[in-house]
Structure formats: structure tokens, C-alpha cells
């Protein structure tokens, strides 16, 4: 499984979800090899720690996660200003130089490594890659078992894979910058341009505009590659394929609808139960508001909810958080309002409904017929026509004369 996690991390670089943090990493291509490695190492370890703690529902962890993102944005903003203005850079570096002199008067290089690690830590706090099949399996294990050493190790392996692919791009860019230094005196302009890019990326992330910019992209191709890794890596085929891979083309009964009990709160509706939904065709959509894959599927889900409501379709969004800040109910309510979601939403902060369905993926769609039987499942993006066709089939069955 460590090998699978590592390969999944390598594939992350192909996903559009990584784009918001790329300016932070590429801004330092003119730094030393050691500095770049420290930045990537800080990013990997922070990502693993934050993702491990994401499954802990204690209030202090949630608030620390949320506060950490704000601190990371401030750090990135200051880093951008230091790139744009050498005077600002010197002013910001002064406390670290003084600290280094106090610890070891003969060492004046502490500020460099410490600065690189801090940039990596800040990037790790902002880094939220798409939860494809591989990362979904890892996080699901953490949710069911709690934060543990095994999960953290898998997340480190995933992060190392991502760091390897990102590092290869960064070192390639570093080589280009070094060649430019010898021929064209534009190093200063490149530095300022990188600073502007970092500052713009920090503003985009802080305002949530990155979600809008990425809404038109798709991770379906990367998810397919990840599924290929899951299917072909030796010794894990039987277990992983049975848990992750689904054949959305099949139309057969998969058992009775699992319970909807356990949500901490319901939005847009009183609490719903499987008994109260008998006679209705139900679409259960597992999602979380900061998941890019979920945002790609959301317009289709909203359209189906509105288009087939009068024919008897009930859409239920089960919001199961992936990261700590998505556990804050106020954040979920704000996003539900901003996204224009009017159908019932169950806030599944304790992963109760997630466990009932034995789900392992964001987004995940479960279609239940009027008799309360699960007839169709689909994980991830895509196959929207097939899903809508299945909705129509189940509605026709439900509305047919007895």
C-alpha cells in the first residue's frame, strides 16, 4: 500500500487541483538545491500531519486547522512581498538573522533553511489535492480507525510522491533560470514576477476564487490513471478493487438502503429516514464543499434535483468533511447558501452515514429505487448521461401502474 500511495502522489501533479500552490513552489526556483528540498520536505510533513488530524473531531483541532490556513496565507503574502521588494525581504529576514546569531554567533545561515521550511509548512497547510481513489482509500482508513501511525506513514508516502514530481519540475525550472542568468540580465524581473504570482495566488485562495477558476477543469483522467494503479499493483488487487472500483454500467439490486441516522444537523429539511423515503427514488450524494471533484459534479446534481423533483426524485447531499475546517457547521451553511443548494443536506461530521454506506470516495452517488433498494452506484466524476438515464428508469418504474 505504501507503493500505491507513493505512485498516487506522483500522479497528483497531473491534477488541476495542484495549480493553486504551484506559484509558491516555483517562486523559489533560483534558490539552492538544499533550500528547495527543505521546502518540499516541510510541505510533505505538514500535509501528512494536517490530513492525519483531519479525522479528529475535537474542537481545538478544527480551530487549529482553520487558523493554520489563515496563518499560511499571511506567510505566503509576506513571502511574496519579499520577492517583489528586496528592502521588504531584508526587513522580514532580520528577526531570523538575529535569532541565528543568538543561537550560534558563527552561523549566519539559519534564516535561509528556516525560511525554506516555513514556506514548505505554509504550502502544506494550503495544499488540498483532489481526493482521488488512492487518497480516498487512505483518508477513509483514517476516518474509520482514527489518526494513527500507519495512516500518517501512507500520507507521507503520498506526499513524497507529489514532492518528487513537483521537485522534478522545480529543478527543471531552476536549470532554465540558471541559463538565463548567464545570458540575459532579467533575474530581478523574474523574482518580482514570481512575487506577484505568489501574491495573486494567496489572494485567490483567501477569497475562494480558486474554486471558481477550477470549476471548469476535470480530474476524471487522473482518477482513471489512479484506478489503473490500484488495479495493477501486485498484492492489493483483490482488496482495493473490491473497495474502490465500481461498475456504473450495472443495473442490479445491491441491497437495502443503509440508514441515514447519525447526522449532527440537517439543512433545508427536517431529518429524513429511509422509512419516510419509501415510495420515492432517492439520490444520495456524498460530498464536501472544498472538494474540486465534488464541485464538478454539483451542477449536475442540482439540475437533477430540480428537473425530477415533481416526478418523485429526492436528492440528499451528505456532507462528510475531508479536512478540519469543513467540520465547522457555519462554513457548511455558508457554502450551501453560496452554491445554491436547496435540497436536503445532512452534516455527517461523525462519519456515521459514511460508515453506514461503507463509502470511501468523494463524490459518491447512490441511487435507491422506490422499494428502498440500492440499484446504482457511481464514484467520482463523469458518466452523467448514464446516471440521468438511470434516474429516469427508476422514476418510470416507480410511477408505472401497478
The pLDDT value given to residue 248: 46
- Give the residue with greater pLDDT, 116 vs 381: 381
The pLDDT value given to residue 395: 93
The pLDDT value given to residue 389: 95
Question: Stretch 328-347: mean pLDDT, rounded?
Answer: 93
The pLDDT value given to residue 90: 58
The pLDDT value given to residue 222: 62
Superfamily of domain 248-399: Glutaredoxin (3.40.30.10)
Q: What is the rounded distance in angstroms from the CA atom of residue 125 to the CA atom of residue 119?
A: 10
Question: Stretch 241-252: mean pLDDT, rounded?
Answer: 46
Q: What is the rounded distance in angstroms from the CA atom of residue 338 to the CA atom of residue 336?
A: 6
- Give the residue with greater pLDDT, 213 vs 280: 280
Report whether pLDDT(307) > 90.
yes
The pLDDT value given to residue 368: 95
For the beta sheet containing 281-287, the strands, ordered from the edge strand earlier in sequence to the opposite edge, are: 265-267, 345-347, 313-319, 281-287, 364-368, 374-379
pTM: 0.54
DSSP 8-state assignment for residue 254: -
- The domain limits of the chain are 2-222, 248-399
List helix spans (H) across 266-374: 292-307, 329-338, 352-356
pLDDT tens digit string along 47-74? 777 776 665 555 555 565 566 666 767 7
pLDDT tens digit string along 370-392? 999 999 999 888 889 999 999 99
Q: What is the rounded distance in angstroms from the CA atom of residue 244 to the CA atom of residue 359?
A: 9
Question: Stretch 132-137: mean pLDDT, rounded?
Answer: 64
Residues of the chain with pLDDT > 90, as a percent, come to: 25
Taking Cα atoms as reference points, which of 247, 289, 254, 259 lies closest to residue 386? Answer: 247
Q: What is the rounded distance in angstroms from the CA atom of residue 273 to the CA atom of residue 190?
A: 59
- Mean pLDDT (the chain) is 74
Amino acid at each position: 500500500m505504501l507503493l500505491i500511495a507513493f505512485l498516487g502522489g506522483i500522479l497528483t501533479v497531473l491534477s488541476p487541483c495542484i495549480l493553486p500552490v504551484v506559484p509558491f513552489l516555483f517562486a523559489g526556483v533560483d534558490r539552492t538545491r538544499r533550500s528547495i528540498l527543505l521546502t518540499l520536505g516541510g510541505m510533505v510533513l505538514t500535509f501528512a500531519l494536517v490530513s492525519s488530524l483531519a479525522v479528529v473531531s475535537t474542537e481545538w483541532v478544527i480551530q487549529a486547522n482553520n487558523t493554520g490556513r489563515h496563518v499560511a496565507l499571511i506567510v505566503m503574502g509576506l513571502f511574496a512581498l519579499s520577492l517583489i521588494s528586496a528592502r521588504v525581504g531584508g526587513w522580514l529576514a532580520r528577526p531570523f538573522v538575529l535569532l541565528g546569531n543568538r543561537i550560534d554567533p558563527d552561523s549566519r545561515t539559519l534564516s535561509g533553511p528556516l525560511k525554506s521550511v516555513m514556506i514548505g509548512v505554509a504550502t502544506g497547510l494550503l495544499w488540498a489535492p483532489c481526493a482521488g481513489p488512492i487518497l480516498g482509500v487512505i483518508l477513509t482508513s483514517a476516518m474509520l480507525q482514527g489518526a494513527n501511525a500507519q495512516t500518517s506513514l501512507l500520507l507521507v508516502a503520498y506526499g513524497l510522491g507529489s514532492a518528487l514530481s513537483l521537485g522534478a519540475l522545480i529543478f527543471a525550472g531552476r536549470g532554465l533560470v540558471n541559463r538565463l542568468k548567464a545570458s540575459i540580465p532579467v533575474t530581478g524581473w523574474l523574482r518580482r514576477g514570481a512575487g506577484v504570482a505568489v501574491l495573486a495566488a494567496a489572494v485567490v485562495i483567501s477569497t475562494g476564487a480558486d474554486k471558481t477558476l477550477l470549476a471548469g477543469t476535470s480530474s476524471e483522467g487522473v482518477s482513471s490513471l489512479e484506478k489503473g494503479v490500484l488495479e495493477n499493483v501486485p498484492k492489493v488487487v483483490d482488496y482495493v478493487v473490491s473497495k474502490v472500483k465500481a461498475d456504473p454500467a450495472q443495473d442490479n439490486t445491491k441491497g437495502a438502503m443503509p440508514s441515514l441516522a447519525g447526522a449532527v444537523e440537517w439543512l433545508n429539511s427536517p431529518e429524513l429516514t429511509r422509512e419516510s423515503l419509501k415510495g420515492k427514488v432517492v439520490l444520495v450524494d456524498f460530498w464536501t464543499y472544498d472538494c474540486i471533484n465534488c464541485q464538478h459534479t454539483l451542477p449536475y446534481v442540482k439540475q437533477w434535483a430540480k428537473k425530477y423533483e415533481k416526478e418523485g426524485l429526492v436528492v440528499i447531499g451528505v456532507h462528510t468533511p475531508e479536512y478540519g475546517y469543513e467540520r465547522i457547521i457555519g462554513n457548511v451553511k455558508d457554502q450551501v447558501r453560496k452554491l445554491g443548494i436547496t435540497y436536503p443536506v445532512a452534516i455527517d461530521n461523525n462519519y456515521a452515514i459514511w460508515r453506514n454506506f461503507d463509502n470511501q470516495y468523494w463524490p459518491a452517488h447512490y441511487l435507491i429505487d422506490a422499494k428502498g433498494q440500492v440499484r446504482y452506484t457511481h464514484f467520482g466524476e463523469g458518466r452523467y448521461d448514464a446516471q440521468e438515464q438511470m434516474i429516469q428508469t427508476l422514476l418510470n418504474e416507480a410511477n408505472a401502474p401497478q
